[in-house]
Amino acid sequence: MIKPIVILLLVAAVILGGVLGWHLFIGRMMGKFIAANASAPQTVSTYVVKPLAWQSETVAVGDVRARQGADLAAQIAGVVDQIRFRSGGTAHAGETLLRLRLNDDPAKLAQLIAQARLAAVTYRRDKQQFAVQAVSKAVLDADLANLQSARAQVAAQRALIAEKYVRAPFSGRLGIRQVDLGQYLAAGTTVVTLQALNPILVDFYVPQQQLAMIRKGQLAYATVDTYPGVRFTGKIVAINSKVDSASRNVQVRAQFANPTERLVPGMFANVTIDYGASRQILTVPSTAITYNPYGDTVFVVQRAGVDAHGKPGLIARQRFVKLGSRRGDQVAVLSGLAAGDVIVSAGQLKLHNGSPLAINNSVLPSDSAHPTPPNE
């Protein structure tokens, strides 16, 4: 009875010893792994803090619109008799673009002109007769009324004929033709759109807090995703006389030269307006900033002894900074850094105070004041 108990105790002791030994081995290996990783340098990208010319600016979203634009339509109903333009072509002010069938309107006009001429002859003859008292004043008054009525009918007929022509009210670029030859048009049917594209306008809104920074004649810059990297320069030409009571924004209009007609109505545009004098200020890439509830920080690269290869060692030191406004990928630093400081611009999420560093600047984060995302 005693022998099986002894054997059982020996087996339990062996198992317990094995488990304890395994845990001790795992703990030692984990300690070595953590120590090795703690001392391994972390690869980061760096940026040298330097002062740059900083221009305060206001950024807004705008809509491109024509200086003049209209959907041209026939004033009266009729059948299309002539089309004198091509889709996408240009038109000059007063140019005839389309004519409806005139039918007998020219003949009616000729008849009314003849009647007006006869009325004029009758009036002149009776006026001479009235001078020698051969006709009464009533006859002369009736002749004058007939003459004026005949001339009014001629004018009305000419106006009726004119309504059968669609003319360009201003010079500009034509859109796509919406009608065909021989088609019956109801009154008000759009024939083609006409847009004056040079110069062109961009309407946008700014908050009422920034209204004091905006003035007529101020430079404005616009970009559209259709042309990445292209910046159009214009001027503010109008500021609305009231602030929208719902949004507390005010409408602003800028005018841009558009000789190549690359900007077209309906485009979405990003508008930038510079204000105030340019000044030198320290800036860092926005990727270098670690935002925390207790304050914004950066990691500054400092020398610390030598590494395993005998080269000067580098470590990271966390430093609090006070930030200013943001411009594209750049952030203004008001305090906490000095010109010439080297900071970590990428890879700082794995760092802590005293972390050894290995610098690799083969790939750097963007540091542009006016970044343009790829147009995919």
| Percent of residues, the chain, with pLDDT higher than 90 | 7
**pLDDT at residue 331, as a whole number:** 84
CA atoms within 13 A on the CB side of 370: 20
Count Cβ neighbours within 10 Å for each residue of 127-144 and write b for 16 or more, e otherwise: eeebeeeebeeeebeebe
Arithmetic mean of pLDDT over the chain: 82
Closest CA to 342 of 310, 317, 325: 317
Encode pLDDT of 195-214 as tens digits. 989 899 999 998 888 888 88
Number of alpha carbons in the 13 Å side-chain half-sphere of residue 297: 15
How many angstroms separate the CA atoms of 44 and 41, rounded? Answer: 9
pLDDT given for residue 370 in this prediction: 61
Residues with Cβ within 8 Å of residue 132, at least 6 apart in sequence? none
User: What domains appear along the chain, each with residue ranges and CATH number?
Assistant: 41-54+279-359 (2.40.420.20), 58-66+198-274 (2.40.30.170), 104-155 (1.10.287)
> With bands split at pLDDT 50, 70 and 90, how would you rate the model's confidence at 305?
low
d(Cα 100, Cα 86) in Å, to the nearest integer? 17
The pLDDT tens digits for 144-183 are: 888 888 889 888 888 888 888 888 888 989 999 888 888 8
Distance, in Å, from the CA atom of 201 to the CA atom of 209, rounded to the nearest integer, reads 24
